[in-house]
Structure 1
Amino acid sequence: MAKGKAPRRTLDSYTLRNINKTIKAGDCVLMRPAERSKPQYVARIERIEADARGGNVKVHVRWYYRPEESIGGRRQFHGSKEVFLSDHYDVQSADTIEAKCTVHSFKSYTKLDAVGNDDFFCRFEYNSATGAFNPDRVAVYCKCEMPYNPDDLMVQCEGCSDCMWECTFDSGFTLLV
């Protein structure tokens, strides 16, 4: 008679001994990449499961993609800490979690007094099969009609209240504000 899979139970939380942090569903984490030269992967924990003895803990995650990992790649308006919530789900060993992190909404990220190494922001959901984004448009804030990149300093004109940053128009000249 063949052995069946060991029953698994869902955990409300789990303490990671290697970083002395407790994780639960809904938390965002940084996960070890297969290649050490690559940046850590960002994921949101959907569920935590353990085998009957509790020694083999798995996390069901929903991956965030960095702009360079998406179809179309990184664009000028993508911030250095920008990630996209994808439709890509996976199961990983809890041992691959290296840290907890925070993925803020775009609005709350732009209001942070200081951005830490574990702070990211998300303003798009990403379909990994088609490369489609939701929403497929975002508000623009500059005369160049590019979406706001929070890494770039924006300056508000006192006369018209338009916001601008250093940008190059199609005409080839650079506007310095």
Structure 2
Amino acid sequence: MARTKATCPKQPQDQPNYRASLKDFLERSDKPFSVTTINPRKRKRSGVDTALRAETDLFVPRLSVAYEIQPATNWDSLKRYKKFAVGSESIAVGECILVKHDMSQDDPRVDPLGQWKARVLEVRALDSEHVYIRVAWLNRPEDLVGGRQPHHGKNELIPTNQLDIIDAMTVNGGLDLVQWDESNDENSMPGIDEYFWRQTYDYANTKTFSKLPKMCRDRKPQNPDEMILQCESQKCRKWMHVDCIVKDAVQRANRETARKGKAVKIKKRASVASFALEPTPPATAIAREDGYTAEFFVRGSPDGPDDTPSEVTKIVVTDAEGEQRTEHVTCFFCHEPIEPTIST
């Protein structure tokens, strides 16, 4: 019996004129592709049984999501790549990017704060002028439900499973993003200029945030841009917000005044400014209430070349008449005086 050679069916992009028609399709729209995430529960109730794709490379398993792309045939006809170029910079799948939010601006200086951020999930292209990136958005806290909260850091981003397909021409370059695992005290804090993430938001399914560790007596998360301190007692070792410490000091001063039946006098500002003969180090945190001011000073801080650092960690309470008293820092929980280990 004679053998016959199997003939592979032609792919759409190999067919005559298909490449030209695909190029025409891509150039007819500023956004030729759309991505829709599918909630498995809603899909089951609706009885829809379409072939779905799955995305599992989204920082944490809870963000894994099903999705579909329209038009799927045109998307699948584009060649898949592992990386793409932005100027002289090469960006690979899995890396994060800065995305222009205003194509009318052509300033060569890239301001990361003014850019959208995303993670690259897939790269497809027809040619060097038609390159498309499937991404998952990295949202700022103010862009999500509830908005920016006191515990959010300046450079904090929140990964989501909100998927999109963008033109590579909108990409302004790569973005370094680090994870901050605050559950381990030994882990280093994110740098002052580093973009970081510690929490996720399930945009596609549950519309919920992952939980953050809570601390101090107010049971709120840490803001990495603000100082916290840890009790040194081995039986305690609890963390406290420095802001809570100074607020507690100023509130105690006011309660003490109320118990003694004294009126809080407001001292008017002198017409001629007076200057301190000795430099005073700037306080790490300050709280004011009803004529009292509480300042928190950290031993050895500030430590700049022109600074006079504080010799001890202390709280200084000043009343409306300018009289001061110094307090030891004590733990909210075990009430032991502490010379704390500071975290910034």
Q: TM-score, normalised by structure 1?
A: 0.79
Q: What amino acid is the match of 1:9?
A: K
Q: 1:79 deviation in Å? A: 1.1
Q: Match of 1:42?
A: 117
Q: Is the 8 A contact 1:144 1:167 kept in 2?
A: no
2:123 is the alignment partner of 1:28: no
The answer for unaligned runs of 5 or more in structure 2 is 1-16, 24-76, 106-110, 252-286, 288-293, 297-328, 330-344
1:64-143 alignment runs, 5 A limit: 64-107=138-181, 111=188, 114-116=191-193, 119-128=194-203, 131-133=207-209, 135=210, 137-143=211-217
Q: Is the 8 A contact 2:124 2:132 kept in 1?
A: yes
Q: What amino acid is the match of 1:32?
A: K
Q: Is the 8 A contact 2:180 2:190 kept in 1?
A: no
Please give the secondary structure, in 2, of the residue aligned with 1:167.
helix
Q: Is the 8 A contact 1:84 1:126 kept in 2?
A: yes
1:48-67 alignment runs, 5 A limit: 48-51=123-126, 53-67=127-141
Residue by residue, what CA displacement relative to the aligned partner does 1:42-87 show, whole Å, maximum 9, x if unpaired?
1000011111x33211111100111100111011111111111112
Q: 1:141 deviation in Å? A: 2.5
Q: Match of 2:342?
A: none
Aligned residue pairs: how many? 169
Quick one: distance in 2 between partners of 1:12 and 1:112? 32
The answer for unaligned runs of 5 or more in structure 1 is none
Q: 1:127 deviation in Å? A: 2.9
Q: 1:138 deviation in Å? A: 1.9
Q: 1:151 deviation in Å? A: 0.7
- Which structure has the larger Rg over C-alpha atoms? 2
Quick one: distance in 1 between partners of 2:225 and 2:244? 17
Quick one: distance in 2 between partners of 1:31 and 1:83? 14
Residue by residue, what CA displacement relative to the aligned partner does 1:76-129 show, whole Å, maximum 9, x if unpaired?
111111111112111111121112112221228x6257443xx32222221336
More helix by share: 2
Q: Match of 1:10?
A: 80
* Higher relative contact order (Cα pairs below 8 Å, separated by 6+ residues): 1
Quick one: distance in 2 between partners of 1:157 and 1:82? 27
Structure 2 vs 1, CA of residues 125 and 143 (structure 1 numbering), >3 Å: closer, same or farther?
same
Q: Is the 8 A contact 2:135 2:163 kept in 1?
A: yes
Please give the secondary structure, in 1, of the residue aligned with 2:227.
coil
CA RMSD, 1 decimal? 3.1
Q: What amino acid is the match of 1:163?
A: W
Moved more, 92-101 or 120-129: 120-129
Q: Is the 8 A contact 2:180 2:189 kept in 1?
A: no
Identity %: 24
Q: What amino acid is the match of 2:188?
A: K
Q: 1:161 deviation in Å? A: 2.5
Quick one: distance in 2 between partners of 1:113 and 1:40? 20
Quick one: distance in 2 between partners of 1:151 and 1:131? 27
Q: TM-score, normalised by structure 2?
A: 0.43
4+ long deviations beyond 6 Å: 35-38, 169-172
Quick one: distance in 1 between partners of 2:81 and 2:153? 35
Moved more, 33-42 or 74-83: 33-42
Q: Is the 8 A contact 2:189 2:224 kept in 1?
A: no
